Amino acid sequence: MPNFMIAYYGGKQPGSKDEGMAQMGKWKAWVEGLGKAIVNPGTPLPASKIVTSGGVEEDTDPNSMKGFAVVQAETMEAAVEMAKSDPFLDNGGTIRVSLMMEMK
């Protein structure tokens, strides 16, 4: 079964510790609900740099990639359905679902 990356972009940070705990609870419930489809439940990306042939700069874009998860699904459509229920969307962020190709 193929793997799909669910990449998180933008979104807002919790306004308080209680709000953060509530968001974490929703995320944990989402992960548990996906069961064996979860390959990597989530990897936050708290800092990043932009590297080009011309140099390196800070990534200050508020819509930059914030993290990712990896799921297994039969089809792209099935992976998209998983992403549509991800509570990250409640934070004003967007999700990109990408088929992961295994390189051998």
| Cα distances (angstroms) measured from residue 7 to each of 56, 93, 104 | 23, 10, 23
Q: What pTM was estimated for this model as a whole? A: 0.89
DSSP string, the chain: --EEEEEEEE----SSHHHHHHHHHHHHHHHHHHGGGEEEEEEE----EEEETTEEEE---TTSEEEEEEEE-SSHHHHHHHHHT-GGGGGTEEEEEEEEPPP-
Give the tens place of pLDDT for each residue, 47-104. 999 999 999 999 999 899 999 999 999 999 999 999 999 999 999 999 999 999 988 8
Which sequence spans correspond to the domains of the chain? 3-100
Chain centre to alpha carbon of residue 7: 4
Name the CATH superfamily for 3-100: Dimeric alpha+beta barrel (3.30.70.1060)
Chain centre to alpha carbon of residue 22: 18
- pLDDT at 29 (0 to 100): 96
